[in-house]
A = this chain, B = another copy of it.
Amino acid sequence: MTVVVPAEPVGVLTGAWRECVGTGRMNLSLRHDHREALARVQREIGFRSVRGHGMLSDDMGVHRPYERDGRHVRHVTTYLDQVVDGYLEHGIRPFLELGFMPSGLASGDQTVFWWRGNVTPPSSYTEWADLVRGTLRHLVDRYGLEEVRRWPVEVWNEPNLVHFWEHADQAEYLRLYEVTAHAVKDVDASLQVGGPALSPGADEWWEPFAAFVTERDVPVDFVSRHAYSSGPAQHVPFGTYQDLRPPQELLDQFGAPRRHLAGTALADLPVHITEFNTSYRPDNPVHDTAYNAAYLAPVLAGGGDLADSFSYWTFSDVFEEEGVPAAFLHGGFGLLTHRGVPKPTYHLYAFLARLGEQVLARGEDHLVTRHADGRLAVLAWQPVDGAARGDERRTLRLDLPVGDVARISTHRRRVSEDDGNVWTAWCHLGRPASPSARQLDLLHEASVPAVEHGSHATADGRVRLDVPLSRHEVTLVEVDPVRDETPDWLDDTRIPGYR
């Protein structure tokens, strides 16, 4: 069956897919490898903003009580400024998440993660409001209001889970939200504040949240939640296995805020999916596979219909929620591995970044786009269902509108079980826990997508293209018009070896 692609656009590929990306916690951005990863991601993908935990946690050192004729607090931005300077230098803005609680302001000892983020309410809401105001005021001073008003400010992270908010206490969260939202607006009314950053499975929070902010006139500029499609965790040492529900599950989660808020005062607010991935575990090997890329291809292709942003959690395996990773590939969230090797899902994003804005066709295994200058770019993938292994082989047949040119060239990049696949290559090397310099070179080289090029004569402004897809393949085909500049005197059969 051939997909006959129309010449007129059927839609637009919005920038929702690149609007935001996740980083583990802000402090990681002080790291060399994390910055190199960001530099690469920005060069080849170009996200607009980056969100991470722990902006106010101890390792950022912002909240600093001291004694001098009584207790005082100093707001120290030594690290915060360094992190934000770094983001901006790499052309990416912070998507601020206010949390977790500084020890000196915490009401309890409960922490989350290896790096011990304190998840208890503030011991003093006044001091918390001062901290929020002081920090944002400093950011406005340093970076200018024009800039900072483009940084969404999200209040806390997944307060519906006991891991992230003591007792998952809804009333306490609403109090935190209220105090915080007002503190943000105290700095400037144009700053954008929102929440409640729910985890999957907490849709029952939407109604009370909407009711609370409406009733008490609490500022809300956007709403946010997370999306993951994995089932219960089955642990092994340093790892976890999980089943996945089909990709549509993620799209359903993307759409949930609008469904649940329909009819409320929050119905028309921007919706940010401030985290998503297949598995929510940083040690599930699925993240390292081509399967993960093929699984997410339709999600990235379609998510923009449902949300204003959806933020892949996370761009780099440099991430410490479960401690220092015990092996090079360890099921981390990252688009890039430790030592900066791209995983298949990285390439999926890099392919998206080369698509055009006009959507000419979208189907279960393809997204055909056109650039403003007329060039076509086709994303194709093997559909997978979250469970069974993909097909050995599948062919997408396209009939493309290429306009008034006699010839086009094709340039194709392929990622599959064998190509552009660091995981397969690492398995071939015996899964070295800490690869040697030589092994890292081989892995880098093996992670480059396979490239194929060709050219085709057109007929009536159209060209037929068969795109064979191997197992778990994600592929990009770019179609360029060809202007033939071959001089008439050239004759390749006169070259030795080309008779």
Beyond A431-B486, A446-B451, 17 additional pairs, beta carbon < 8 A: A32-B34, A33-B82, A60-B324, A64-B323, A64-B326, A67-B237, A74-B238, A76-B324, A78-B324, A78-B325, A142-B436, A234-B494, A285-B495, A428-B454, A429-B455, A430-B455, A448-B448
A472 at the B interface (CB under 8 A): yes
A216 at the B interface (CB under 8 A): no
Interchain CB contact under 8 A, A442 and B434? no
Which residue of the partner chain B has the closest CB to A318?
B30
Instruction: Chain B residues near A499: list those with CB within 8 A.
Output: 387-389
A291 at the B interface (CB under 8 A): yes
The SS class assigned to the A binding surface is: mixed
Instruction: Chain B residues near A410: list those with CB within 8 A.
Output: 428
Shortest 6 CB-CB distances between A and B: which pairs? A61-B324, A291-B497, A241-B494, A428-B455, A430-B482, A430-B484
Minimal beta-carbon separation of A495 from chain B (angstroms): 5
Copies of this chain held together in the complex: 4
Instruction: Chain B residues near A387: list those with CB within 8 A.
Output: 496-497, 499
Interchain CB contact under 8 A, B428 and A78? no
Output the residue of A67, A427, A434, A446 with the most chain B CB within 10 A. Answer: A434
Interchain CB contact under 8 A, A241 and B429? no
Interchain CB contact under 8 A, A430 and B66? no
How far, in angstroms, from A239 to B64 measured CA to CA in the complex?
A: 13
Chain A 485-499 interface mask (CB, 8 Å, partner B; 1/0): 111011110111111
Which residue of the partner chain B has the closest CB to A291?
B497
Give 9 pairs: A residue, B residue, CB < 8 Å, sorted on A.
A32-B32, A61-B323, A76-B324, A242-B496, A289-B497, A294-B497, A295-B496, A428-B454, A442-B480
Instruction: Chain B residues near A498: list those with CB within 8 A.
Output: 289, 291, 389
A contacts, CB < 8 Å to B:
30-35, 59-61, 64, 66-68, 72, 74, 76-79, 81-82, 85-86, 142, 234, 236-239, 241-244, 278, 285-286, 289, 291, 294-295, 323-328, 338-339, 384, 386-390, 407, 409-411, 418, 424-425, 427-434, 436-438, 442, 445-446, 448, 450-455, 472, 480, 482-487, 489-492, 494-499
Interchain CB contact under 8 A, A326 and B78? yes
Minimal beta-carbon separation of A481 from chain B (angstroms): 9
Interchain CB contact under 8 A, B243 and A432? no
How far, in angstroms, from A61 to B322 measured CA to CA in the complex?
A: 11
Instruction: Chain B residues near A241: list those with CB within 8 A.
Output: 491, 494-495
Which residue of the partner chain B has the closest CB to A67?
B237
Interchain CB contact under 8 A, A432 and B291? no
Task: Assess A79 versus B324: contact at CB under 8 Å? Given A237-B487, A429-B480.
Answer: yes
Minimal beta-carbon separation of A316 from chain B (angstroms): 13
Task: Assess A428 versus B446: contact at CB under 8 Å? Given A32-B35, A291-B498, A388-B497.
Answer: no
Output the residue of A77, A490, A495 with the most chain B CB within 10 A. Answer: A495
Instruction: Chain B residues near A328: list those with CB within 8 A.
Output: 78
